[in-house]
Structure 1
Amino acid sequence: MNKPARGLRSDGEATKTRILEAAGELFATTGYAETPNKAIAALAQVDLASLNYHFGNRSGLYQAVLTESYGQVLGLANLKQLTGSELAPASNLRALIEQLVWHANQEPQACQLRVLAREMRAPTSHLQTLFQNDAQP
Structure 2
Amino acid sequence: MVVPVSPQTVVARAPRQDGQATRQQILETAGQLFAELGYANTTSKQICESSRANNASVNYHFENKDGLYRAVLHEAHDRLVRIETMISLSESPASPEDKLRAIITVLIGGLGNQREGWALKVLTRELLSPSSVLPEVLEEQAFPKAKIVREILGQIMQLPPDDPATLRSAVSVFAPCLFLLIAHEPLARNVLPGLELDPPALIEHMMNYARAGLQAVSGAAKAL
On whether the aligned pair clears a TM of 0.5, the verdict is yes
Q: Deviations over 1:50-93 (max 9, x none)?
A: 1100000000000000011111212213333554541439x82x
The alignment status of 1:86 with 2:89, answered yes or no, reads no
Q: Secondary structure at the match of 2:110?
A: helix
TM-score (norm 1): 0.79
Q: Secondary structure at the match of 1:48?
A: coil
Give the match for residue 20 of structure 1: 27
Aligned-CA RMSD value: 2.4
Could you tell me how far apart the structure 2 residues matched to 1:30 and 1:56 are?
21
Give the match for residue 66 of structure 1: 73
Could you tell me how far apart the structure 1 residues matched to 2:34 and 2:72 are?
9
RCO higher in 1 or 2 (8 Å CA, sep ≥ 6)?
1
Counterpart residue identity of residue 35, structure 1: T
Could you tell me how far apart the structure 1 residues matched to 2:63 and 2:37 are?
22
Give the match for residue 211 of structure 2: none
The alignment status of 1:131 with 2:138, answered yes or no, reads yes
Could you tell me how far apart the structure 1 residues matched to 2:88 and 2:127 are?
23
TM-score (norm 2): 0.51
The alignment status of 1:111 with 2:118, answered yes or no, reads yes
> Number of residue pairs matched?
129
Could you tell me how far apart the structure 2 residues matched to 1:54 and 1:105 are?
30
Could you tell me how far apart the structure 2 residues matched to 1:111 and 1:104 are?
13
Asked if the contact 1:51–1:61 (Cα under 8 Å) also holds between the matched residues in 2, the reply is yes
Higher Rg: 2
Could you tell me how far apart the structure 1 residues matched to 2:108 and 2:31 are?
18
Q: Deviations over 1:82-135 (max 9, x none)?
A: 54541439x82x654553343352112211121111111211221111022334
The alignment status of 1:121 with 2:128, answered yes or no, reads yes
Q: Quick one: which of 4, 26, 36 aligns to 1:29?
A: 36
Counterpart residue identity of residue 45, structure 2: K
Q: Please, which moves more after superposition, 117-126 or 55-64?
A: 117-126
Change in Cα spacing, 1:42 to 1:104, as seen in structure 2 (3 Å) is farther
Counterpart residue identity of residue 127, structure 2: M
